Structure 1
Amino acid sequence: MSDPAPVDHRIPAAAAPAEPVPDYVSALESAADYLSAEQRQLLRRAWAVGAAAHAGQTRKSGEPYITHPVAVAKVLAEQGLDVETLVAAILHDTIEDTPLSRESIASEFGETVAELVEGVTKLDKLHFADRQEAAAESFRKMLLAMARDLRVILIKLADRLHNMRTLGAQSPEARTRIARETLEIHAPIAQRLGMNLIKAELQDLGFKALYPLRHRVLERRIRTEPLVRREALAKIEAQLAQRLTKEGLHYRLVSRIKSPWSIYSKMRNEGKSFDQVMDVFGFRIVVGSVAECYHALGVVHAAFKPLDGRFRDFIAIPKANGYQSLHTVLFGPYGSPIEVQIRTTEMDLIAERGIAAHWAYKHDGGTATSAQTRAHAWIVNLIESQRSAGSSLEFLENVKVDLFPDEVYLFTPKGDIMSLPRNSTALDFAYAVHTDVGNHAVAARVDKKLVPLRTKLASGQRVEVITAPSAAPKPQWLEFVATSKARTAIRHQLKQLQHEDAVELGHRMLDRALEGLGTSLDRLPPPRLDGYLAEHRYPRLEALLHDIGLGNRMPAQVAQSLARSEPDTADLLAPQPPRSGEKILITGAERGVITFANCCTPIPGDEIMGFHTAGKGIVVHRMDCPNVADYRKSPERWVQIGWDRAVEGFFQALLRVEVNNHPGVLAQVAAAIAQAESNIDRVDYMERDTRIAAIRFAIEVRGRKHLAEVIRRVRRLAVVHGVQRL
């Protein structure tokens, strides 16, 4: 874009320029023929203002720059958007690229238009370290803009669509980058908002720009479709039309033509050849009412036999983006399946335009459509997730699950319907109900049967979550949840719990170190404590204790600094041997600040020692662990540690079991371990010959007594030659 010529910030007084109206403005007015004459005059006024503001600016193709925002407005007019959105689309680049101010737009066209223009402008003012970060952060900004007014994202999608239509003027590198971003971010958002027409065109233009040769080959194959196939399509269409007419239904029947992108996606994702993908006939039947949808379904099932298990009722249970339709697959007369979609005129409009269909804002006393309500609920849910996500990249990774939905529909105990992505578990359902329900979940009842939280759910099931006030998220939960809301909430809660435990552990360790020097935190002079915090840039005591708990600061050194009476006493860097006195006791409730070494897997009852490790807190080893010898070289990092009498929970232990090498032995050993009420985490074959096999089991036990019971039960088996704890 060339540099803008200096322009007066105020909007010109004339209603429109004297010269004839260009064709691109006439095309916009023709597309917006649903607006009143007064509203169309406002569009022309917006064009006059935009043309004056963008005077002298050109696109890379050489056209006047104003042709682009007017074309964006035309895309939105074809979707039936309100006049405020169209005016904002015409002016969407003025604040960023011209001297025209937000205040001028607000005084001339109203506050709503100014807010929409400003919302789109903020999306464009982004500078990033790399392309991956840009994609993630721009996506986050998009969602924030959408949360305020969904029309901002509609303008942005239309802007991207026109840019994709005119992508030829860009360099090859820019074409590739813009196309990939369109396929990964903009098209999925259009799909999630139910805007299938815009989504389909974005996907096809993105595919054409990213893989021009593949697109050209597929397009040519579709165009040169065999005559036999065209005749078969016409014959099926005639048979369906005849049956529907005989039943007295008023309908619109159209055959569905596959796009190059949809064919390419199926070939790639399902491993099918071009002929296999094309060997499916598709039809859409549009009728007047919901009752007629089910009537038409009966008619097509009478004409051709349906495939078992391929019927989907999205009218009774709509998709999350508001899409409604009946889907069925029939046996065709030529051995090829026939895919049929049946819906009402209104459903067809919503299927194509999504939240843009029947646009209604409450300032006219209207209420938002169901598609808008669902879209807004989805966005609000994502906004909650992004507040808890650690980074933009983590956030984008999380919501990719929601952008490509393949849903299961479930019932709450009260009979309400909830939709979740495919592969969702009972725990995902718990978090979908409420974050607090997920955080305290312990099990679930699926169709009145008790199941663990990792159980995958199927459509039509009734799910009830069982909670306990003392329950809390576990790191293992992240391994089996499928939704971004659950993953984000678990991570957030684990961070919170780890912080609390680190502060508590740090408090105990610092107090213990201070007691060895004849003082305590409570007896320290406040000015000395405040001075230490300020010197080391800690905003409050809690931050210092957190750092000690995580092993980033040594409690002995902090204690010496705090307890000294004179500034020059004691060498702060001198290693401090572990002091006798109170041990730190493990209760089993510690989350993230006490970890158990994999080299020796300590369990309650073992003699143990703790080693203070930066970023990990205390790592616990058995006293007989071979690695303890190395840790003796750093005595200042030793921590006296023991087991609390009331220690609870399960701890990992490793067993080496030698057995006869024949089929069924593994199952016998696993059964014996299960009878001793222990879970198996992992099984590995260590050694194997024709007669004897050595197997390593990672099992969960409550302590040494429980482990002894497991070993006794395994040794009793006739097939076992020996059991050894590793």
Structure 2
Amino acid sequence: MTEEQIKEENAEIARRYRDLLLNTYRNLNEDDKKLIRRAFDLAVDAHQHQRRKSGEPYIYHPIAVAKIIADEIGLGATSIAAALMHDVVEDTEYTLEDMEAMFGKKIAKIIDGLTKISVLNNQELSIQSENFRKLLLTLSEDVRVILVKIADRLHNMRTLDAMPQHKQLKIASETVFIYAPLAHRMGLYNIKSELEDLSLKYTQPENYADIKKKLKESAEDRKRYIQKFSDSISDRLDEEGLEYQIKGRSKSIHSINRKMQTQGVSFDQVYDKFAIRIIYRSDKKNEKFIAWKIYSIVTDIYKPNPSRLRDWITQPKPTGYESLHITVMGDDGKWVEVQIRSERMDEIAEKGIAAHYKYKENYKVEDSKVDEWISQVREILENQDIQDTTEFIDNFKLNLYTKEIYVFTPMGELISLPRGASSLDFAYAIHTNIGDTCLGAKVNGKLYPLSHELRSGDQVEIITSKNQQPKLDWLDYVTTSRAKSKIKAALNAEKRQSAEEGKEILERKLRHLRLTANEKTINNMVSFFNERTSQDLFYHVLTGKISNADIKRFAEKNSGVVGFINRFRSKSIGKSKEDYVMPPSGKLDLIVFGDEEKKLDYTLANCCNPIPGDKVFGFVTVNRGIKVHKLTCPNAIELQVNYAYRVQKAKWVDSSQITFRTEIIIKGIDRMGLVKDITDVLSNNLNIDMKSINFSSEDGIFNGNILVSVANKSHLDSVMQRLKNVEGVTKINRKQD
């Protein structure tokens, strides 16, 4: 670089630093300003020789992350300094000890947490459940670690264009899978929406571009509509002497895309593409009174939809979010969502948990919600009895996004639970011992079983017995991570005790068959019986699921490596050898996967180079999709034994002969002969195979589900287009997986 270029870059770095402090400088004391300056100087020095993929100086990234922390999340000097230095320990020669010596334990601890997360992300594997669990454990140490990491991911997503496509897909998928739900649970709704939109940009680029274009084209119409709507209520608000502002905001691209796909509608048919927000000024004492006054004014002018009222002021969300949401019928027959909130509520809605802690000293009602959730997260994460870590991720994500219901204890205490929660979930929400000894529940004074699904407003009294203990089928009754983890912990404790008895029984039986119950034999038995762990093996011996005849069969077939390979070939990858027999003739040019013979993207493994007709299996890699190996591949045994959950049944087929099953959902206005017309179209014109058909009608509206086999998507599109033309059919779409 020339001296002039270096001078220009240094000037740009200084400009970005000033911009970082533009909105926060007046709120910082002298010590805060010195701390941030020292962090900035160290980061500039540490990263001076590093460049981003775009070619820009690397220091641009930590400055941008710190600006997100300062302006969009609203954290203070400690977090801003940590954000400036968040990559220093990972990417430079500075150590964690250096950080602690120069900036103290608090900042060093945050940087340590961020470094651990980065190490996990850089491993040659996706964010698997155990790593995700470790990532979230940082939340129990200092929630700022997660907030800085969310800011780091947001800036990476904003600059993802510079990355190669395979990296874009991995990072975008990881973002929508992990970081958007976390941002949602931290109350960072704007950031959550932006992360989802940016992820969609790389995972479904055509959908993203199409919706973005249509939103831009309709922007002026929306602006005029919002202005007209605002003008109609401003006079009334002014008469009441209220200080307020009215804003209009479009729904996110991701949200619109999700509605289009789940509801099977076009862009124009998504009616609530924007919301109007009324933000008023008030002291804490009068916040609720003014909110309902504004509600009364709006509903005097526009007719409300009673079923769409959401009162999160009386009962805030667990994230601390407070707002009053109503949906009213606006001009031109359009439904409009109106959000009513104070300036304080709006700041919490915009900046989430950071604003929540800002108000913590003055307001004690809402902070218990977030603190309670973090305590629950910590309890779940630190539960050492979690074995199925993939299920852990699913449960945790479900609890991040799920909607809440509110139920009462006999003493009138309000308990928040996810929608779909049962009496048993409620029992575990009260206390582990109450859950473990729960017999049933009285809901609104009436006796119900443990599986009874609760509704908002229910008053619940749990009936317990000291003789009761958790049972395996209880896992079918609960939805919360807390209840599931507690039930599994109790079952595992009992199972461990039983497994010890089973181990003694197995050792005796093996001695009788002249086999030694050493580690190798036990591991071979675990594989032979498709058990997850040796503990499962011992337990099933005790319960009789693995019989004497089964153990004898193992002894006979377990005659060294050859026996093991034969079992692997005939049993582990597929159900039987016959599953892989190829048709005697035809062009074998396509591999399909699973019992449903799905068509998926794949590549052939270089280690064994399968050719058409070979017996094969699929292996789901971390970054390179599905790799197809021969059943006799030298790596087959290792892959099956160590990564069985990533192995997929596969076989070669003739692509010209294969068909695919899919379900078509039809809705419309019922009439005489409608079903006949639909079946005639399918039977006479389209040459397709109907597997099942089901129609129901209520109040003149029909709903139909048709399971068909089609050759490909073009064939399906043709089918759906013909059905759409049938008189009375108003909506038709393919059921999403």
Say if 2:444 is the partner of 1:447.
Answer: yes
Map residues 311-326 of structure 1 onto 2, 5 A cutoff.
311-326=309-324
Which residue of 400, 417, 422 maps to 1:420? 417
Mean Cα deviation higher: 157-166 or 497-506: 497-506
Q: Deviations over 1:641-665 (max 9, x none)?
A: xxxxxxxxxxxxxxxxxxxxxxxxx
Greater share of helix residues, 1 or 2? 2
Rounded Cα–Cα distance in structure 1 between residues aligned with 2:414 and 2:519:
57
How far apart, in 2, do the equivalents of 1:292 and 1:50 lie? 47
Following superposition of structure 1 onto structure 2, how do residues 11-160 of structure 1 map, counting pairs within 5 Å? 22-33=14-25, 34-78=27-71, 79-126=73-120, 131-132=125-126, 134-160=127-153
**CA displacement at 1:498 relative to structure 2:** 2.1
Quote the Cα distance in structure 2 between the aligned partners of 1:550 and 1:114: 41
Aligned residues of 2:168 and 2:202 also touching (Cα < 8 A): yes
1:193 maps to what in 2? 186
CA gap 1:473/1:168 in 2 versus in 1, 3 angstroms? same
The letter of the residue matching 2:178 is I
Matched position secondary structure for 1:126: helix
Q: Does 1:297 align with 2:295?
A: yes
Which residue of structure 2 lines up, in the alignment, with residue 583 of structure 1? none
1:505 to 1:32, Cα distance in 2 relative to 1, 3 A:
same
How far apart, in 1, do the equivalents of 2:105 and 2:450 lie? 49
Amino acid corresponding to residue 384 of structure 1 in structure 2: E
Q: Is the 8 A contact 2:506 2:541 kept in 1?
A: no
Q: Match of 1:411?
A: 408
Structure 1 residues 239-250: aligned runs within 5 Å: 239-250=232-243
- Structure-to-structure mapping, 1:538-687, within 5 angstroms: 593-594=542-543, 611=548
Cα distance in 1, alignment partners of residues 125 and 366 from structure 2:
32
For residues 132 and 352 of structure 2, what CA distance do their matches in structure 1 show? 20
Task: Give the counterpart of 1:233 among 226, 238, 258.
Answer: 226
Report the AA paired with residue 380 of structure 2.
S
Q: Measure, in 1, the Cα distance between the counterparts of 2:122 and 2:521.
A: 29
| 1:336-358: CA deviation from partner (whole Å, max 9, x where unpaired) | 21211111111111111111115
The offset of 1:173, in angstroms, is: 0.6
- What per-residue deviation string (whole Å, max 9, x for no partner) do you get for residues 272-314 of structure 1? 3211214565211112222101111111121112212221211
Determine the structure 2 residue equivalent to 1:349.
Answer: 347
AA aligned to 2:335 is: P
Does the 8 Å CA contact 1:80/1:358 hold for their aligned counterparts? no
Map Cα deviations across residues 50-79 of structure 1 (whole Å, 9 max, x no partner). Answer: 111112111111111111111111110103
Report if aligned partners of 1:80, 1:359 keep a CA contact under 8 Å in 2: no
Structure-1 separation of matches of 2:21 and 2:100: 23
Identify which of 392, 395, 400 aligns with 1:395: 392
Residue 382 (structure 1) aligns with = 377
The answer to whether the 8 Å contact 1:195/1:352 transfers is: yes
1:345, 1:165 → 2: CA distance? 28
Compute the displacement of 1:38 (Å).
Answer: 4.2
CA contact (8 A) 2:13 2:60 kept: no
Whether the 8 Å CA contact 1:73–1:86 is kept in 2: the answer is yes
SS at 2:279's partner residue?
A: strand
Could you say which residue in structure 2 is the equivalent of 1:331? 329
Which deviates more, 252-261 or 383-392? 383-392
- In the alignment, the residues of structure 2 paired with residue 551 and residue 219 of structure 1 have an alpha-carbon distance, to the nearest angstrom, of 52
3-state DSSP of counterpart to 1:334: helix
Long gaps (5+) in structure 1: 1-16, 517-531, 539-546, 554-589, 598-609, 616-726
What do the CA deviations read for 1:196-225 (whole angstroms, capped 9, x no partner)? 122122112111222222111111111111
Q: CA shift at 1:80, angstroms?
A: 2.1
Matched, 1:218 2:211: yes
Q: CA deviation at 1:549?
A: 11
Measured in 2, the distance between the counterparts of 1:239 and 1:100 equals 60
Query: What residue is the counterpart of 1:495 in the other structure?
Result: 492
2:469 aligns with: 472
How far 1:235 sits from its partner (Å)? 2.0
Task: Give me the whole-angstrom Cα distance separating, in 2, the residues matched to 1:374 and 1:221.
Answer: 39
Using the aligned pairs only, state the percent identity. Answer: 37
Structure 1 residues 491 and 417, CA, compared in 2 at 3 Å: closer, same or farther? same
- Given that 2:310 and 2:325 are in contact with CA atoms closer than 8 Å, whether structure 1 keeps it comes out as yes
User: Which shows bigger deviation, 161-170 or 203-212?
Assistant: 203-212
CA distance in 1: counterparts of 2:248 and 2:540, whole angstroms = 59
For 1:292 and 1:264, the matched residues in 2 are separated by 35
The runs of 5 or more residues in structure 2 that have no matched partner are: 1-8, 523-531, 553-737
Deviation at 1:246, TM superposition (A): 2.3
My pick for the range that moved more, 78-87 or 220-229, is 220-229
Q: 1:173 to 1:479 in 2, by over 3 A?
A: same
Give the whole-Å Cα distance in 2 for the aligned partners of 1:112 and 1:237.
47
Q: Does 1:257 align with 2:250?
A: yes
CA distance in 1, matches of 2:188, 2:180: 9
Is the 8 Å Cα contact of residues 144 and 383 (structure 1) preserved in structure 2? yes
Letter in 2 for 1:594: T
Matched, 1:177 2:170: yes
Quick one: which of 461, 467, 481 aligns to 2:478?
481
Indicate the SS of the match to 1:309.
Answer: helix
**CA separation of 1:414 and 1:123: change in aligned 2, threshold 3 A:** same
SS at match of 1:445: strand
Structure-1 residue corresponding to 2:694: none
Question: What's 2:657 paired with?
Answer: none
- Kept in 2, the 8 Å contact 1:443–1:465? The answer is yes
CA root-mean-square deviation: 3.5
Once the two structures are overlaid, the 10-residue window that deviates more, 166-175 or 232-241, is 232-241
CA contact (8 A) 1:408 1:458 kept: yes
| Deviation digits for residues 557-579 of structure 1 (CA, Å, limit 9, x no counterpart) | xxxxxxxxxxxxxxxxxxxxxxx
Aligned partner of residue 74 in structure 1, secondary structure: helix
**CA distance in 2 between partners of 1:306 and 1:66 (Å):** 51
| Counterpart Cα distance in 2 of 1:436 and 1:157 | 36
* Contact 1:405 1:422 (C-alpha < 8 Å) held by counterparts: yes
| 2:731 alignment counterpart | none
Distance, in Å, in 1 between the alignment partners of 2:331 and 2:57 is: 55
1:251 CA drift (Å):
1.7
Q: Is the 8 A contact 1:32 1:40 kept in 2?
A: no
Give the distance between the partners of 1:198 and 1:549, measured in 2 at CA. Answer: 45
**Counterparts of 1:18 and 1:295 in 2: how far apart (Å)?**
54
Decide whether the 8 Å contact of 2:226 with 2:276 is kept in 1: no
Aligned-pair distance for 1:500? 2.3
Give the Å deviation of 1:612: 7.1
Q: Is 1:462 matched with 2:459? A: yes
Q: What displacement does 1:432 show?
A: 1.4
Deviations 1:325-374 (A, max 9, x none): 11111122321212111111111111111111154599xxx589766643
Candidates 178, 181, 202, aligned match of 1:209: 202
